[in-house]
Structure 1
Amino acid sequence: MSESNPDSDNTSDSRTSKLFSSADADIIFQSSDNVQFHLHKINLQYTTGGFPPADISNKKEIVKLTEQSETLELLFQFVYPRQFPSMRNLDFHSLISLAEAAEKYEVFAASTACFYLLRDFVHTQPKRVLQFAAMHGYHELVVDIQPILAGSPLSDVVDILPLQMLKSWSLYREQHLLTNIQKHLETIHALNRENCNLRSQKAATVYEDDTTRRKLFK
């Protein structure tokens, strides 16, 4: 979390979120694009693990955050007793930004929602989702991605996975490759058998034709 700064030069250029503009708020967060969110510490205390910071006084101070307003607008909806925002049409960039913010500030409800939604992107964004899952310990997501990236070289994931995950990944990849090799060999054997049968049938046909011709000219 960034430092609180009530006298920031950017404060005069800021605007206030329509969703979070309560007059009795006791803490104000400001996004990187200068949108202010007026919140209540009591909600943050009971629904998050990262708010409010210990060095925030009882004054209504402005705390500057590094996230964009789009991300914070979604994130803060998870700290109040209200219906959570719909995220069905959220693009991957917006979702991963929200997921990272939820982990950073320990907004647990948002973290859970993002976890399930990220599963929709394991096929289109496997490496980025894997990076997030490995960093934050989402083993289930790593398992979901294993079949998708198992054919990739280990060099693609060695800098992403921690040692214990890399060990499990390597064992899975080895089994995956062995299974694929076995299937490939079985396919080759099946094709060879089919070719042998075709050659045998062709030879038998030639023999029958030759025998027929001999009988005709005998």
Structure 2
Amino acid sequence: MSTTKYSNKFYASDADVSFLSSDKVVFQLHRKYLEATCGAFPSAEFETRGEQVPLTEDAETLEVLFQFVYPRRHPDLKSTPFELLSRVAEAAEKYEVFAAMNVCKYRMECVHLDLISQCSPTLIFHGGNYRIMSPQHHKEVFIYAMKHGHKDIMANTAPPLLDVPLDEMAKILTPHHIVPWASGFR
């Protein structure tokens, strides 16, 4: 016997589209807000016939992502743990949730800028100021930036990755980035 779980934040009785997270939580949203704020969710022409649209993201990720769909103050994600931020950033890009894309890009860029780092800090120039960059999450942020074409973030996260062996970097670089990495940074 399976009991349907519904999101506490996204359970509107007048919602006209339902999404099912990978961990089987239902999110009920208004199509008009999805159409206005997203590029990749079902439009009015796409009839769901009351069915739940399955998504590959978990409920925790969707709970944050869908907060960017409605016309209200959006979360700033400052205190969001990196693992969740990373998942939300990927989902925002995947579903083109425009407001979330911008906030996530900014947070992903800032996540590795740590003014009180104790782990082999590197001094970098960012936003008109010198900041200390800690080595935490460089590879994950670099992969995110590379995947979504954020060259500025790639440039900021690349220096600490120069010590990573080329064969290991080749596993994460796209074919388009292997030659520039091997010739330009080595």
Answer whether TM exceeds 0.5 for this pair: yes
Does structure 1 retain, via aligned residues, the 8 Å contact 2:22–2:57?
yes
Does structure 1 retain, via aligned residues, the 8 Å contact 2:65–2:92?
yes
Find the residue that maps to 1:157 and give its secondary structure.
Answer: helix
1:154 aligned partner: 166
2:98 counterpart letter in structure 1 = F
1:97 aligned partner: 87
Does structure 2 retain, via aligned residues, the 8 Å contact 1:13–1:34?
no
Using the TM superposition, name which of 70-79 and 33-42 deviates more.
33-42
Does structure 2 retain, via aligned residues, the 8 Å contact 1:31–1:68?
yes
Alpha-carbon distance in structure 1 between the residues aligned to 2:24 and 2:173 = 35
More helix by share: 1
Q: 1:49 aligns with which of 27, 39, 43?
A: 39
More strand by share: 2
Cα distance change of structure 1 residues 55 and 61 upon mapping to structure 2, 3 Å threshold: farther
CA displacement at 1:55 relative to structure 2 = 7.6
Cα distance change of structure 1 residues 138 and 23 upon mapping to structure 2, 3 Å threshold: same
Count matched residues: 164
1:148 counterpart letter in structure 2 = P
| Higher-Rg member (1/2) | 1
Alpha-carbon distance in structure 2 between the residues aligned to 1:133 and 1:153 = 20
Aligned-residue sequence identity (percent) comes to: 40
Question: Which 5+ residue runs of structure 2 have no aligned equivalent?
Answer: 113-134
Does structure 2 retain, via aligned residues, the 8 Å contact 1:126–1:148?
yes
Find the residue that maps to 2:36 and give its secondary structure.
Answer: helix
Find the residue that maps to 1:112 and give its secondary structure.
Answer: helix
2:164 counterpart letter in structure 1 = S
CA displacement at 1:81 relative to structure 2 = 0.8
Does structure 2 retain, via aligned residues, the 8 Å contact 1:32–1:67?
yes
Alpha-carbon distance in structure 2 between the residues aligned to 1:58 and 1:149 = 45
Answer yes or no: is 1:27 the counterpart of 2:17: yes
Question: Which 5+ residue runs of structure 1 have no aligned equivalent?
Answer: 1-8, 175-218
1:137 aligned partner: 149
CA displacement at 1:92 relative to structure 2 = 1.3
Answer yes or no: is 1:68 the counterpart of 2:68: no
TM-superposition CA deviations, 1:144-165 (whole Å, max 9, x none): 1121112322222223223443
2:137 aligned partner: 125
Alpha-carbon distance in structure 2 between the residues aligned to 1:19 and 1:127 = 33
1:128 counterpart letter in structure 2 = E
CA displacement at 1:54 relative to structure 2 = 8.0
